[in-house]
């Protein structure tokens, strides 16, 4: 004879899962279209938008297609885009000088977005040299006293200042330095303030790891990288280092700090959110996006369900903002 325990079940957690309305009523984590940031790419040398093969649904844009896609994102409720530039190979050089050329592809794109949308859409600029250098590194390449090739941290800071000022002149509301150079936030903040751009904010890529999940992005920006970036991006084995980087960036004037990638580093994201006095963003990077798209296309997972589950998990772990290539699609889904 088995005992009947049902009469003793005072706590029944399933009561609060009984209907969609009930589940929404007690949800601990919410996600809004305005929490999402859409990374976008503008490219020279193309006459129509070109799909990136390893990132289905993501495009290198012309100016006109960029404005259309940004408008679609805004209509869906996405209030911020992060723009990357893709110059012609012949326009790249050792220092990435097109990055601070007012007529360069990225600065032209920023200016077009600001003219079209004014303050309705937050225009954020990627502030890094890797798309513009012929060697693909995020700064000035030199040799140390032993003859080894290195990225010169302090020489790079001066170029980041020039790049940030060009982006501010083009109309960027926010600068997003992603090169992981020591002191980059302080240098950029000083340059912006010195030229009267005190209102231009900075989203710092504070905990950016040397990750294999960045692979498809290299195709998206036509990367010329030779070697790797392990001497300046963070070791995936470390977390205390991330917390130090965050504290330094906040001290130097960062308005928002970021963890990149997102899903493989949710533990880092949670720790950063616990200590940060400023908003915390996370970047669902190209490899994360590509895996979900590929699995969905093969019928292995429900793409849209996995998309939303991944985004809510990033939000639950502590992200205030999420950079994701799913931004427009997810925003439409959130609006029903």
Active site residue ranges: 208, 260
**By the 8 A CB rule, do 281 and 319 touch?**
yes
Question: How far, in Å, CA of 246 to CA of 23, rounded?
Answer: 35
Burial 205-221 (b: 16+ CB within 10 A, else e): bbbbbebebbebbeebb
- Structure tokens that stand for 321 in this block: 């903002």
- Structure tokens that stand for 180 in this block: 């992981």
Cβ–Cβ contacts within 10 Å for residue 248, how many? 17
| Partners of residue 98 on adjacent β-strands | none
Using alpha carbons, list the distances in angstroms from residue 269 to 5, 43, 162, 226, 251: 42, 32, 30, 29, 19
**By the 8 A CB rule, do 133 and 173 touch?**
no
Burial 161-197 (b: 16+ CB within 10 A, else e): bbbbbbbbebbbbbbbbbbbbebbbbbbbebbeeeeb
- Which residues, other chains included, contact 152 with Cβ-Cβ below 8 Å and sequence gap of 6+? 139, 140, 141, 142
Question: How far, in Å, CA of 68 to CA of 60, rounded?
Answer: 13
- Structure tokens that stand for 57 in this block: 């649904």
Report the chain's C-alpha Rg in angstroms.
Answer: 21
């Amino acid at each position: 004879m088995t005992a009947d325990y049902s009469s003793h079940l005072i706590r029944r957690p399933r009561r609060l899962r009984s209907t969609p309305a009930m589940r929404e009523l007690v949800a601990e984590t919410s996600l809004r279209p305005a929490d999402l940031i859409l990374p976008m790419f503008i490219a020279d040398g193309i006459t129509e938008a070109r799909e990136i093969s390893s990132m289905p649904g993501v495009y290198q844009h012309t100016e006109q297609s960029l404005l259309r896609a940004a408008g679609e994102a805004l209509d869906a409720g996405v209030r911020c885009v992060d723009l990357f530039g893709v110059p012609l190979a012949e326009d790249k050089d050792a220092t990435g000088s097109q990055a601070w050329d007012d007529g360069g592809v990225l600065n032209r794109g920023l200016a077009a977005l600001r003219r079209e949308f004014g303050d309705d859409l937050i225009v954020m600029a990627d502030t890094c040299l890797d798309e513009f250098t012929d060697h693909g590194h995020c700064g000035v390449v030199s040799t140390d006293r032993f003859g080894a090739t290195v990225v010169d941290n302090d020489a790079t800071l001066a170029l980041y200042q020039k790049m940030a000022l060009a982006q501010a002149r083009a109309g960027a509301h926010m600068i997003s330095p992603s090169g992981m150079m020591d002191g980059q936030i302080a240098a950029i903040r000083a340059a912006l303030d010195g030229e009267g751009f005190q209102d231009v904010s900075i989203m710092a890529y504070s905990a950016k790891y040397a990750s294999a999940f960045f692979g498809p992005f290299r195709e998206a920006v036509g990367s010329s990288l030779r070697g790797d970036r392990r001497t300046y991006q963070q070791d995936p084995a470390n977390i205390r280092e991330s917390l130090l980087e965050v504290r330094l960036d906040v001290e130097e004037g960062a308005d928002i700090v970021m963890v990149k990638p997102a899903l493989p580093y949710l533990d880092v994201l949670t720790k950063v959110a616990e200590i940060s006095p400023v908003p915390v963003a996370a970047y669902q990077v190209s490899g994360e996006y590509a895996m979900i798209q590929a699995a969905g296309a093969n019928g292995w997972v429900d793409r849209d369900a996995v998309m939303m589950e991944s985004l809510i998990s990033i939000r639950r772990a502590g992200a205030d903002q999420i950079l994701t290539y799913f931004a427009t699609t997810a925003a439409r889904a959130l609006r029903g």
